[in-house]
A and B are shown apart, each in its own frame.
Chain A
């Protein structure tokens, strides 16, 4: 209470300093209801044991009698409370309590409004704005009042998903909501929502950087990019204004009919217009944002919600936002309409049907963000960007801990990290061992590196992929080569990546590579990422993934949602069907995998038999098996199939496994390594194959099976006795000559035939270390 360390109990009223008198004046500086303050003060005095309400009840009438003013007992009651406050607290505390009293007054008003279902939202916004103008202060609103108000406001202005509100109420304050509301583009006197993606981004930033009880460790590292929200009302207005109401029932048509209408629908969306008042709002928005490039992101009500993340289902677009104001407005409006249209796309409707979300009235809100980055010559892009996962499903080595998460890092815009481009590779970072790479040799590390950088070309106003060597050579004059790219780009000398003192005048292809070695060698970045992901996971009570960008030593968190593994098959949770008849189970696994996976309705398996393979006496024959696997892989290009065989697929040591290359297995959904003890050796399974990253990029799941473990099922007899269907795919001559002699070693199992019209189902529950493959 006393910042000078003097004894606060020796208050001398006669010597009450001038400061306190000034405070009196401050307290009564305008027409105020003294009662608003008394309630707050009385609660503080009681909290600190300086006042007993019962005692006060009896004392106030006494005082009134003393002054012969019994009519105004309340006045003496109040005077006593104020006197006690001023006697017992120092100036700073008193100011804080006055502030608290003012906050409580406004908060109660807001609360009272919110109790009316048809409250006046403009009035609430005004009160919220008044509230936010008050200093934060040290003393906070009582929790029940604050949370009560937050829950209402979050529900009404941000997102009403129960799980979301349950978390957000502890992190998104009234001030935050005021700040958000100011950046919402919506209809006056209405309550629109801002959608799941915006909500997720706001929440994650608030978790790490709360407005009260600030966290310097994150604040020095993180920054927020300017964001605006076009709310759900604008979407409804757009639909009404253009009489497009019928589109909402489109989803109930069958797949082909929806498909047929797409072109017409897209055209009608592009033709549609916004009412003038909305256009005025968009124009104002552009004036506030200036001509910085923007990303126009979908943020539908269903998107990024807990349970069904609409990962990449809806469209987001970068716009260069260059040129005259009218040009910029045209570009913005057209882009918004494209994003709107994306909720009616056939693939989206099919996805919603799968997830039982069809009946929900999906509405598109939009998140408008400044693109993190800076201008380099004619290009705009962030130093680097990427996706981070709080769980690492690729624990290919014992140093990699699943719970410490992983990154997919790229130089430039994050689009390359989010999507799988196939022939170009983001740097995959296991946060617990950031410098470890599954590629062993220099040549492989060079091969599996990012070459092309996604950038916004401000001149022709489009996204381009530019080779990083060309890019750096072109923008050399505009960059500080040490500061801007040295953390990402390594140079190549003596077949090694090095970071020399001098940056060359010109880069050549093959003389440098994007490795992020410098960034990752400095442990600070990875430690922060681990802490940040861990914190979000703890708060969200579920693993999460985030999108981020990085520029000028600052980290921007752009999106956060419950983990969806950037893969078709990974699930948040997998519950293994119970009571499966044992005879339907092909095998079970109890260790060696991470990630919850479901792959359903697998029709084919390329199966290499361990004993058959070991019995081959020459290298030539073993190589032939690899060629046959490659042949089947090509023939099954359009089928759903998996691969199962002994030991280490792709090993250079032909005795340890079938020596396939990536091109021999690339169409498979899954590769299974059977680590079965044989007379001579126990194959050591390994995820660290030289084509590891190809597997990741191609979304091929890896699974080791240990048939000798206790309590596992492995129906080897079924696999051994199943007939091969290889002759269905090959002409008889070729089959007889090349394949038939090796039917006992490698075969193509058609489960529809071998499993009596059933298909193989694969369920992997990593949380409980239980996986099962069964026929159904």
Chain B
């Protein structure tokens, strides 16, 4: 059945199974990790601006809290359903484990179309959601964050509702807040910065001279722009190509990244940037560069184009840019893939820092954030790389193996299995 194969939760389970096989996990642990530990499905009535009441379905899945309170984003999307939320909660469990932060994985969502909601309706929905699931949230239980179509403003309403219910300050109940009410420095570029740290470590591992390295960036949005800037700043790496939905630009001698970012912010696209040739999104992926950052869309590297990838390293800043069949081809061809849930774990790591700062009620400088993030990402990369080497498996599988192993061990220590 076609839809079964594409059911995201079924995919997540099969990925776990692969790791469990490599680890030789026992059946009971495997069974525990295959399912979420707690699921909440709530019904949220919301008074609409026209006086009518609309009823929304909300979800919160706490996949596994063996390593700490669960953590994960809240998605507002018309296609949202429990299977997507389950799958993403599982992935969050592995993501927090790979960067070794003391948190479990969770995810939540509301089936709604935010494009159809006014600001006041969004606020009522945000507050209604917290009233429905607030009891199971908290800095010691489960901490949400922004995700698809949820914004810092929505996080702020949610935190306010939560604090109103509790009657005390709980800034750490939610992360991704605006800086003015307890948000952290360094969140804006955390994903890209974390990714570049892993690239730096990959260069060391693969003996690549960073000063001669080049990269191409597919998807010159927030993460892509930061990746270009930070690659230059930290590694002295040249960006030779960048693209967005309107098209791409290429200069084999390197693009002036600051000017390109300015051009993109000014005109809305990289297209038309002077001193560069145009290039299609497809061709960009096949450039002979040291690194490719797929930073925007899912499924851009597939079974059909994977064989043409010439880069040494693919650093997956976007979620799911490679399809499973592409993964195998890349590995066979010696393309080193830094998998999405390692490469883009900088975001959740800084979210965790936000939570820590909230708890201490003391806030770090940007330099402190960068230093701590570097430590976490470097450690995560090294661990993954070692497992990949020792077990002769690709980085994605290695990352799964480490994560699943860490979570399984925590479950065992607690005496659950």
Contact = CB atoms under 8 A, between A and B. Distances in A.
Given A443-B222, A619-B323, A510 B299 contact: no
A411 B107 CA distance: 41
B153 A496 contact: yes
A614 B6 CA distance: 12
A616 B323 CA distance: 16
A398 B152 contact: no
Contact of A423 (B50, B152, B267): B267
A661 interface: yes
Contacts, number: 98
Interface string B261-275: 010011111000000
Given A447-B268, A496-B151, A617 B116 contact: no
Given A399-B116, A688-B113, A442 B323 contact: no
B115 A442 contact: no
B364 interface: no
Contacts of B221: 443
Interface string B285-318: 0000000000000110011100000000000000
Contact of A655 (B3, B50, B117, B265): B3
Given A615-B2, A620-B302, A620-B325, A688 B265 contact: no
A441 B148 CA distance: 8
Contacts of A651: 79
A680 B266 contact: no
Interface in A60-93: none
Contact of A684 (B78, B119, B222): B78
A620 B269 CA distance: 28
Contact of A495 (B222, B269, B303, B304): B222
A305 to B, nearest CB: 39
B178 A440 contact: no
Contacts of B179: 494
A471 to B, nearest CB: 12
Contacts of A623: 299, 302, 323
B116 A398 contact: yes
B118 interface: yes
Interface in A443-465: 443, 446-447, 449, 451
B265 A510 contact: yes
B222 A661 contact: no
Consensus secondary structure, chain A interface: loop
Contacts of A661: 245
A228 to B, nearest CB: 39
Interface in A490-529: 493-496, 508-510
Interface in A591-647: 614-620, 623-624
Interface string A642-668: 000000000111111000011100000
A439 interface: yes
Nearest to A437: B115
Given A619-B323, A624-B304, A655 B116 contact: no
Contacts of B222: 443, 495
Contact of A397 (B115, B178, B247, B262): B115
A467 interface: yes
B416 interface: no
A392 to B, nearest CB: 15
Contacts of A617: 2, 5
B217 to A, nearest CB: 15
B40 interface: no
A442 B266 contact: no
A435 B262 contact: no
Contact of A441 (B149, B153, B268, B304): B149
B414 interface: no
A438 interface: yes
B45 interface: no
Contacts of A451: 266-268
B266 A509 contact: yes
Contact of B266 (A438, A449, A469, A614): A469
B183 interface: yes
A167 interface: no
A494 B152 contact: yes
B6 A663 contact: no
A653 B113 CA distance: 14
A436 interface: yes
A433 interface: yes
Contacts of B262: 509
B151 A442 contact: yes
A307 B79 CA distance: 44
Interface in B241-283: 245-247, 262, 265-269
A418 B1 CA distance: 50
B346 to A, nearest CB: 16
Interface in A381-409: 397-399
A647 to B, nearest CB: 11
Contacts of A688: 113, 115-116
A446 B2 CA distance: 37
A688 B115 CA distance: 8
Contacts of A433: 118
A682 B87 CA distance: 23
B114 interface: yes
B151 A495 contact: yes
A401 to B, nearest CB: 11
B203 to A, nearest CB: 30
Nearest to B225: A510
A442 B178 CA distance: 15
A492 to B, nearest CB: 10
Interface string B1-33: 011011000000000000000000000000000
Contacts of A447: 268
B115 A440 contact: yes
B245 A663 contact: yes
Contacts of A398: 116
21 contacts: A399-B116, A423-B268, A435-B119, A440-B114, A440-B149, A447-B268, A469-B266, A494-B151, A494-B152, A495-B151, A510-B266, A617-B2, A619-B323, A620-B325, A623-B299, A624-B302, A651-B79, A652-B79, A654-B6, A655-B3, A688-B116
Given A447-B268, A620-B304, A624-B302, 15 more contacts: A397-B115, A397-B116, A436-B117, A451-B266, A494-B183, A614-B2, A617-B2, A618-B5, A619-B6, A620-B299, A623-B302, A624-B304, A652-B79, A680-B3, A688-B113
Interface of A: 397-399, 423-424, 433, 435-443, 446-447, 449, 451, 467, 469, 493-496, 508-510, 614-620, 623-624, 651-656, 661-663, 680, 684, 686, 688
Interface of B: 2-3, 5-6, 50, 78-79, 113-119, 148-149, 151-153, 178-179, 183, 188, 221-222, 245-247, 262, 265-269, 298-299, 302-304, 323, 325
For the complex of A and B, list the 8 residue pairs with the smallest distance between their C-beta atoms, beginning with the closest: A510-B265, A509-B265, A494-B152, A509-B266, A653-B79, A397-B116, A494-B178, A617-B2
